[in-house]
Amino acid sequence: MSSFLQESTQFANALNQLQGKSVLVLGHRRPDGDCIGSQVALTRVLIDLGIDARAVNQDPVPRTLRKFVGDTPFYSPQEVKGEEFVIITVDCADKKRVGDELSKRFPQVFLNVDHHVSNNDYAEINFVLSNASATGEILAKFFLDCGFTIDSTTADGLYLGIATDTGQFCYGGTNASVFEVCRRLCEYGASPASVAHELYEREKPGRVQLLQKFLASFKMEYDDRVCIGIIRDSYYEETNTQAEDTEGFVDYARSMEGVEIGVLIEEQNKNIKGSFRAKDSRYRVDVLAKEFSGGGHACAAGFNVVKSLDDFYPELVNAIGSHLLKTNEK
């Protein structure tokens, strides 16, 4: 079934090298469904193989994703004592994505499993498969090929990663192989209904108010081909929300009729976090994000800059305009 048979054998060999060692499975800051689901799934498989493993993330597990952790050992950096660990990263295009604290404590990465085209193969062993829809898809195929134990929590985590990174199976990378993997995960106990309920049917009033402010901020640029929405620092206090509550907001900007690129700009103290979403892969928003030291996928990318929002906005608009011009010239 899997199209990763050669890589699956190599993956199993890499895990065999972890016997007798203590392993940390790290994910990226501001974790999303693919990050948390992949951390949970890989940690559980390692434990089942008799390997001492735990998941660690610099930022807390978002409210809507906590149910998917189950009884998986999931720690904050402060709860991890000592430095003698083998490090695995999942869903991290760059090793700095794990956050400053963890990247400084554990600079050497043994295993890197990811699907971002911008990943620079920073680990000793790298499984970077950019044609995959999600890191969860890669791990699912590895586990199925290798015959590893997949319990219902592991299956839910893998399904969660695939479902969220495909936009509930709406993005261009969704193909027959993705659906086949999800079908197999359902056989192992994954519940699409419960995943959807946790993600989309538990909205807080504050998050809805935050979304209202985001929608009201929309600015249309370049003959309405670009929609930019803004979340200012003050909005969080006004709505009793946190930065994690903006998850998925950028898709509203992308969904506007006639829009080719949707943008979310989040103001965080003196920092800016940006997200790009494109309707067509030819717009290569990962290349656009690189102009701000970011990265990602052809249709989904992000970046962080240290600038004020008012100073950065015209720079962003100019960069998008130049990028659109180059795209149209191809």
Considering the domain architecture, whether residues 121 and 229 belong to the same structural domain is answered as no
Domain match, 195 and 121 both: yes
Q: For residue 313, what is the enclosing H or E element?
A: helix 309-329
pTM above 0.85, yes or no: yes
Backbone φ and ψ for 72, nearest 5 degrees, come out as -65, 130
For residues 245 and 299, membership in a common domain is answered with: yes
Mean pLDDT score of the chain, rounded to an integer? 94
> What's the pLDDT tens digit per position in 89-129?
999 999 999 999 999 999 999 999 999 988 999 999 999 99
Most confident range (mean pLDDT) of 117-121, 140-144, 171-175 is: 140-144
Q: Which of 68, 76, 32, 60 is nearest to 275 (CA)?
A: 32
Residue with tokens 């890191």: 135
- The DSSP-derived string for 239-267 is HT--GGGGTTTHHHHHTSTT-SEEEEEEE
- Which CATH number is 165's domain given? 3.90.1640.10
pLDDT confidence tier of residue 83, bands split at 50, 70 and 90: confident
For range 200-229, the mean pLDDT: 96
Question: What span, in angstroms and rounded, lies between the C-alpha atoms of 160 and 154?
Answer: 10
160-186 mean pLDDT: 93
Q: Are residues 287 and 255 in the same domain?
A: yes
Distance between CA 115 and CA 318 in Å, rounded?
29
Domain boundary among 156, 171, 200: 200
Residue 3 in this model has a pLDDT that exceeds 60: no
- Indicate whether 15 and 60 sit together in one domain: yes
Which residue, 177, 200, 223, sits at the end of a domain?
A: 200
Q: What is the CA radius of gyration of the chain?
A: 19
> 191 and 209: one domain?
no
Q: How far is CA 286 from CA 106, 119, 205, 327, in A?
A: 27, 11, 33, 13
Structure tokens of 151?
């319990």
Backbone CA torsion sign across 311, 314, 319, 322 = negative
Residues 256, 175 share a domain: no
| Same-domain pairing of 260 and 315 | yes
Q: Is 215 in the same domain as 136?
A: no
Strand partners for 88: 25, 111
- Look at residue 114 and give its three-state secondary structure: strand
Give the pLDDT score at 1: 46
Last residue of a domain, one of 200, 218, 253: 200
| Residue 225 and residue 189 in one domain | no
Q: How confident is the model at residue 82 (pLDDT cuts 50, 70, 90)?
A: confident
Quote the domain boundaries for residue 89.
Answer: 5-200
Model pLDDT, residue 4: 62
Contact partners, residue 256, CB within 8 Å, separation at least 6:
218, 220, 224, 227, 262
Number of domains in the chain: 2
Burial group, residue 317, by CB count within 10 angstroms (0-12, 13-18, 19+): middle
Q: Taking 90 as the threshold, does the pLDDT of residue 196 lie above it?
A: yes
Question: Is residue 329 predicted with pLDDT exceeding 90?
Answer: no
The 10 Å Cβ neighbour count of residue 288 is: 26
In angstroms, the Cα distances linking 316 to 47, 157, 226, 255, 257 are 45, 35, 11, 20, 22
Q: What is the pLDDT of residue 216?
A: 98
